[in-house]
Structure 1
């Protein structure tokens, strides 16, 4: 058996296929795999998928509700379940989980927006 460093050394010398395989005592396919792994070829990079969500139509309405609910006292606020039922009444066909995920993302965005605003005012 040969070590990986021996295969790399032969690859760097860029010897002929047949001679390298005879010296390594391996099949041509094995050596071809090593050559491919050490080549400069990169895997293709695909753009992230942008798929439409069921909540996209109602995002503006839900974000306005979340903004008004955030300013209320804890006892006065509507829960996310209640907001989900209100969205259902408007024709939303998505699940409660989508509403919760949107609310989490909205809350993170609001805290990030607040943090970045406070950084700009402190000079």
Structure 2
């Protein structure tokens, strides 16, 4: 199940992960609840790591683009993109790298909360995951 969850995260297949976790919950709900808990924690950890990697990748790309070229003020493709799209490089890189992973992370939170609700044996984990999913502002 751990490998299945890893593949779902790598491929950003949230629906497949949800279906697999539901089936796994049915199988181990009465016998081995701690196994389900470990799989869910692993799923959350992988999703958070991928979102953090995407954020770091976008930041690295932004930092790389900030280096000034000695021969030209801006690259031709950057000029064309800025005129056509009207957005800055950071907005493009965020939309390209960060947004899909944050959407997947949000879907992961929703999936985990749905899997854990209405199960008295997993109530403590549900409370912890629910509190971490809420914004603190």
Give the TM-score taking structure 2 as reference length.
0.32
Task: Using CA pairs under 8 Å that are at least 6 residues apart, name the structure with larger relative contact order, 1 or 2.
Answer: 2
Give the TM-score taking structure 1 as reference length.
0.35
Larger Rg: 1
